[in-house]
A and B are shown apart, each in its own frame.
Chain A
Amino acid sequence: MKSMLSRYILQGRTVFLSCALAMFAFMLLRVWSITLLGSEEFREIIKHFKDFEKFSPVPFSQLITYTGRVARTFNEPIVLFVILIWTISRGSDTVAGQLNRGTMEMLLGNPVSRRSIYWSQFLVTTAGTLALASLAWLGMVVSVHLNTV
Chain B
Amino acid sequence: MAFVETYQLSKSFGSFTALSKCSLQIEQGSVFGLLGPNGAGKSTLIRLLMGFMTPSEGHAQISGLDCHRQSLQVRQLTSYLPGDARLDRQYRGKQILKLFTGLRSDGSLQKALEMADYLELDLRRKVGSMSTGMRQKLAVTIALANQAPLIILDEPTANLDPTVRQQILGLLRRKRDEGKTILFSSHILEEVESISDTVAFLKHGELITTADLSTLRNNHRVTGTISGVLPSIPDSLTEQIRIIEQDDINLTLEITGDILNGLTWLQSTGIENISIEPARLRSLYEEIHPERQEVDV
A contact residues vs B (CB 8 Å cutoff) = 2-4, 6-7, 10-11, 101-103, 105-113
Contacts and interface: CB of A to CB of B under 8 A. Distances in A.
Contact of A110 (B75, B87, B88): B75
B81 A109 contact: yes
A4 B84 contact: no
Contact of B75 (A11, A102, A103, A111): A111
A1 to B, nearest CB: 10
**Across the A-B interface, the 10 shortest Cβ-Cβ residue pairs:** A109-B80, A3-B102, A102-B86, A105-B82, A110-B103, A111-B76, A111-B75, A7-B99, A103-B86, A101-B86
B38 interface: no
Interface residues of B, number: 29
Contact of A3 (B52, B73, B103, B142): B103
Given A103-B88, A109-B82, A6 B52 contact: no
B95 A102 contact: no
Contact of A112 (B85, B89, B103): B103
28 contacts: A2-B102, A3-B102, A4-B103, A7-B99, A11-B88, A11-B90, A102-B82, A102-B85, A102-B86, A103-B88, A105-B82, A105-B85, A106-B82, A106-B85, A106-B86, A106-B87, A107-B103, A108-B75, A109-B50, A109-B75, A109-B78, A110-B79, A110-B100, A110-B103, A110-B104, A111-B72, A111-B73, A112-B103
B143 interface: yes
Contacts of A105: 52, 82, 84-86
A89 to B, nearest CB: 13
A4 B95 CA distance: 13
A110 B86 CA distance: 14
Given A3-B99, A11-B90, 14 more contacts: A2-B102, A101-B86, A101-B88, A102-B84, A102-B86, A103-B88, A105-B52, A105-B85, A109-B78, A109-B82, A110-B75, A111-B75, A111-B76, A112-B103
B22 interface: no
Given A102-B86, A109-B143, A10 B79 contact: no
Contacts of A103: 86-88
A107 B103 CA distance: 9
Contacts of B73: 111
Interface of B: 50, 52, 72-73, 75-76, 78-82, 84-91, 95, 99-100, 102-105, 139, 142-143
A109 B85 CA distance: 10
> Is the contact region of chain A dominated by helix, strand, or loop, or is it mixed?
helix
B52 A108 contact: yes
A149 B88 CA distance: 50
Most buried by B among A3, A10, A105, A113: A105
Nearest to A13: B90
A106 B95 contact: no
B112 to A, nearest CB: 13
A26 to B, nearest CB: 26
Contacts of B81: 109
B90 A106 contact: no
A11 B99 CA distance: 11
Contacts of B89: 101
Given A108-B50, A111-B72, A111-B76, A6 B102 contact: yes
B97 to A, nearest CB: 12
Contacts of A11: 88, 90
